[in-house]
Each structure stands twice: as structure tokens, then as C-alpha cells.
Chains A and B, each alone.
Chain A
Amino acid sequence: MKIALAQVAPALGDVDRNLALHLRTIAKARRLGADLVVFPELSLTGYALKDLVEETALDPRTSPVFRALKADSRSVDLVVGFVEESPRARGLIYNAAAYLSRGAIRHVHRKVALPTYGMFEEGKFFARGGEAETFAARRLRTGLLICRDFLQTGIGYLLQAGGAELIVAVSAAPGRGSTPEQAFASSRMWERMGESLSFFASAFVVYCNRVGFEDGVPFAGGSFLFAPDGRLLGRSPYLDEDLLVREIRPDDVRRARRRMHFHKEDRPEVVLEGLRRIIQSHDD
């Protein structure tokens, strides 16, 4: 199974231009034999939208943009980022990612952890998602995370406990902080967390970050794939556009879980009981 990570620079607030970018990139990835193409967080809209969230919001079930993407997903699976407003939650707008396969939307994940501090303002403009679930896709049980979701152990754990064999994290992560290497300090954090999660979950962890600038903020790129045993399968350059294609062997999940029994020995019921006690004993 071949996964392509589309490290692109979407245009801010211009959905039509971004759809064209998606279709071009999908065609290219297909020529390279990809079975799944992953785009970054909010890939159809750009990230720092502020009040543009209202103008870029889509209902994936009826939007013409999604009609075009669904058509493409007949031959290759897709993960795309978008702003969602569905009729079932009128007035609520989500930072969402969709998994498309065989001409249909297989799953929509709504971002749970919305960073709202310092340079981040997501909680001002987006409603919070409340779930992180796995679903069957191709040959692997799959789960989606959006950016900050991935940095919260609890949310990653839900996918782990849900049996995820492939964790797809899409991101619009700014580069911040200097290091002696030719990279941002924040990129190192992402790589360490990706590697850790691949061990914890004995799952493939793929991370697609964007590049380009919005209002002076650089997005760091550095998309990567880890095998279920923490092996780095590939990493895109920092800051530059890229289309990274890597072959993964779904059987590696089974091999990793036979070598290290993290998955078998996980005790979600103990976690659940512990969390219930902690929540009940909260003073506030």
C-alpha cells in the first residue's frame, strides 16, 4: 500500500484555487502509484481564516467541491482538510478532515483540541469536535487527528484503544524556535511525538504538515511516516513543497504487535475507571 503526503501551500480563503491544487496533486500522486493521498489541515481553505471561516464553510454531503473530490476518490483514497458546517449543526463551524474512498465520504473527524492562546485563535472561530473514532479503510483500521489533537495524549489514546492500525495526523503547524540544526525547534517536538505514538499504538503514524506563509507565520513542513515499530519511513524537507510517497506493509502492524504486546496489554477499562474517579474528584 502506497501513501502519498501532499506537503502543499494552500491559498488562504480561496477554495476554488485549492480544489484545483488538490486535483493536480492527486493526479500526480496517482501516477506515482499512491493508494492514499493525505493533504494537510484545512487544505481546502488555508489556516488563519478568522472571519473567513463563514465564507469557506462547506457541507461535504452537498458541496460541489466534495463532488469533485469524491469522483477522484474512486481510484485513490483521500484525506482532505476543510471547514465544515453541516445542516445538522446549523451555525456551528468545525475544523474538520474527511476520509474519502470509493467515491464516498468514509469518515469525518472534527478537531477536538482547538489551540486558543498566543498566536492561536481557533476557539474563537470553531466549535469543538467531541469524538476520535477509528474506521475500516482499505486494509487498515484508520483514525484521523487534526494538528493539536495529535499533541494531546488522551486523544491519540482514543485511536490507540479503538484499534487504529494507521493514524493519520493532518496539520498546519507553524515553525517556531531555533535549533543548531537547519530546522525549527517545534519540528523536533512533532517528530518525537510521532515516533512515540507509533510505539504506543503499534500503528503506522503518518503526519502531513503544510508549508507557505500566512500573515508572516511560516508553516514548517517536515511531514513524516513512522512504521509501527518506530522506524522512520520517510520525511519531507522543512519549508519546501513536497509530495512524499512511501510504500507501507500493512502486515508490519501484526509483526510489531507480536514482538511488543503493548496493544494486548492495554487496559482501557482501567483508564476509564481512573478518569471517572479523577473527574469526579475535581473541585472545580
Chain B
Amino acid sequence: MTINAPFVEKVLTAFLRQELSRFGFRNGILGLSGGLDSAVAAALAVRAVGPSHVIALIMPYGSGFPKDLRDARALAAKLGVRTELIDIAPQVDAYFARFPTRSPRRRGNKMARERMSVLYDFSERTEALIIGTSNKTELLIGYGTIHGDMACAFNPLGDLYKTQVRALGRHLGLPAAILRKTPTPGLWPGQTDEAEIGLNYAELDRILYHLVDLRESRREVVARGFARRKVERVADMMRRSEFKRRMPPIAKLSFRTVGHDFLYPYDRGC
């Protein structure tokens, strides 16, 4: 699972350079949360196309996470990128004033989708393509909000497990405050990825690596010494989240149907 960080950097910056020059676009935009993934994506984008072509939106909900806000601003300053600070509390609160809930999940998903909706509007305003920040771990277990933080124009981090993203972040010289931070979706104070998923990333990533990359069966992975309960849980999370990784199925009627046999590449003309 060890990555060759300088080589990965070379591949991903070349990818970003090509993607960011598509369809007449020149700039990339992304949400900077103060966490690891968006920091790595921002640092890669700056190395790929330079700070003047990267726009970072910092979109806190109110003032509940002062440290993340501080870290995001410090990183943006260090990278030299243009930033906009947009508090999403007014628009989220306006909605829940009409449709109140106590469900932290509903509130969290709404926040993720508000950020998405701001990003897409700013994408048009600034003529910038949205750089995705979901890593391979999240994509595989579906730990993300569909049409929320998973929405993007392209994704440089989607084939790197969380622990690999951290190794890349170290290679890119990100601040220790970001590298050592406990991963959290930042939806409510005290929430952490690992507590919610029920596994730590070191173990989760290794289980995924054996199941997915090495194509081992659950039984084989258990035989390697991982707890059966954990392996089953990871495999179930993968199975239940397929809808987050796919375009929705279209009912087929004709000989040529979008998604079934009307098949064109994304990068046409690039």
C-alpha cells in the first residue's frame, strides 16, 4: 500500500493540468475545509497550474469549528490562492426553520449540499472547474453525501486511500496541524470519521486494499487476522453504497439509450 509520493505527485499534477484546460476553462475551484483531503487537492492543484488559477472557498457553518477555519485560512495563505469566506449558516438555518429536524444526518447532508450548490454557482462565476476531494476509502464505503461533497468535475484523489492521501500530504509539505488532525466530516462538534465508521483508517484501508485491490474474498481477509465482524462491516458498507458511485439506472425502451448503448468518453476532443 506504500505509494511512491513523488511519482504520484507527477501523475496527479499532469492529470490536473489536463483536466483544468478542458472546454476552455483555465481555473480550478474547491472547498477548503481545514481537513486533509481538500488541503492535498489544493496543494496539488497549485503545483499543477499555479496559485493564480486556483480558487478556494472556505464555507463554515457559523463559528462552530474555529480551528478548522483557522487552518483553512492559513493553508490558503501559504499556498497563495484566492479565497472567499462564505458562512452557509443563513441558508441552512432558513431551510430548517421551515422543515425542522433533530437528525444530525439530515442537517449534515444539507450542509454538504449547500456547499456543493455554492461551489457550482462559483464555478460558473469564476469560470473554474470543481476539483473533487473524495478519497478512495470514502468512495468505496460511501462515506460522503451524494450530490454533496462527492460532486465535482473531476477527482484527483479518488484512487488514493486515506492513509495514502496523508503520505502524499506529508510529501507535499502540508502543515502538521492538518496532517495530524483527526478526520471529521465537521457536521457537529466532536464528530469523527473513525467513530462513525467504527474502524480506524489504518485498519479500514488495509481491509479495503485486500478486498478490492488484491481481490481477496472476505474469508481470505479474515484469515489474514482481521476481525470477521470488521471485514463483514466493510464489505456491507461497500455493497450498500453502490448508488453513490453510479449514474442512476435509466429504463430502457429504444435501441439506443443514454448510459446503456449511447456511450461516449468524457474527454472527447481533449
User: Taking beta carbons and an 8 Å cutoff, which residues of A are in contact with B?
Assistant: 11-14, 48-52, 175, 178-183, 212-216, 218, 239
Given contacts A175-B11, A216-B15, A239-B11, contact A14 B265 (CB under 8 A): no
Q: Is the CB of B11 within 8 A of A13?
A: no
Instruction: From B4, B10, B155, B267, give the contact of A214 (CB < 8 A).
Output: B267
Bound CA–CA A14/B3 (angstroms): 35
- Are B263 and A50 touching (Cβ within 8 A)? yes
Separation of A12 and B267 alpha carbons in the complex (Å): 7
Q: List 15 additional A-B contacts (Cβ < 8 Å) besides A13-B268, A182-B4.
A: A11-B269, A11-B270, A12-B268, A12-B270, A13-B265, A49-B265, A51-B262, A175-B11, A178-B3, A179-B4, A182-B6, A213-B19, A214-B265, A214-B267, A216-B15
A213 touches B267 (CB 8 A): yes
Tell me how many residues of B have a C-beta within 8 Å of chain A: 23
Shortest beta-carbon distance from A133 to chain B in Å: 32
A52 B3 Cβ-Cβ under 8 A:
no
Report the minimal beta-carbon distance from A17 to chain B, rounded to whole angstroms: 8
Question: Smallest CB–CB gap between A15 and chain B, Å?
Answer: 11
Complex interface: chain A residues within 8 A of B19 (CB): 213
Instruction: Report A-chain residues with C-beta under 8 Å of the C-beta of B11.
Output: 175, 218, 239
- Given the complex, which residues of A lie within 8 Å of B155, measured CB to CB? 216
Which applies to chain A's interface (DSSP): helix, strand, loop or mixed?
Answer: loop
CA distance A183 to B265 in the complex (A): 26
Contacts of B14 in A (CB 8 A): 213, 218, 239
A214 and B18 CA atoms in complex are apart in Å by 9
Partner of B269, one of A12, A48, A51: A12
Query: Taking CB as reference atom, which chain A residue is nearest B10?
Result: A239
Q: List 15 A-B contacts (CB under 8 A).
A: A12-B265, A13-B268, A48-B265, A50-B264, A51-B264, A52-B264, A52-B268, A178-B4, A181-B4, A182-B4, A183-B7, A212-B18, A213-B267, A214-B267, A214-B270
The interface residues of chain A lying within 8 Å CB-to-CB of B2 are: 178
Which B137-157 residues have C-beta < 8 A from chain A? Answer: 154-155
The answer on a CB contact under 8 Å between A180 and B4 is: yes
- Partner among A182, A183, A215 whose Cβ is within 8 Å of the Cβ of B267: A215
Residues of B within 8 A of A216 (CB): 15, 154-155, 266
Instruction: Give every chain A residue within 8 A of B270 (Cβ-Cβ).
Output: 11-12, 214
Question: Which residue of the partner chain, among B154, B266, B269, contacts A14 with CB atoms under 8 Å?
Answer: B269
Q: How far is the CB of A237 from chain B (nearest CB, A)?
A: 10
Q: Which of B2, B4, B7, B15 has the most CB of A within 10 A?
A: B7
Q: Closest B-chain residue to A215, C-beta based?
A: B266
> Which chain B residue shows the least CB distance to A182?
B7
Give CA–CA (A49, B265) in the complex, Å.
Answer: 6
Complex: chain A residue closest to B6, CB-CB: A182
Contacts of B18 in A (CB 8 A): 212-213
Shortest Cβ gap from B156 to chain A (Å):
9
Q: How far, in angstroms, from A236 to B60 measured CA to CA in the complex?
A: 47
Compute how far the CA of A253 lies from the CA of B269 in the bound complex, rounded to whole angstroms. 42
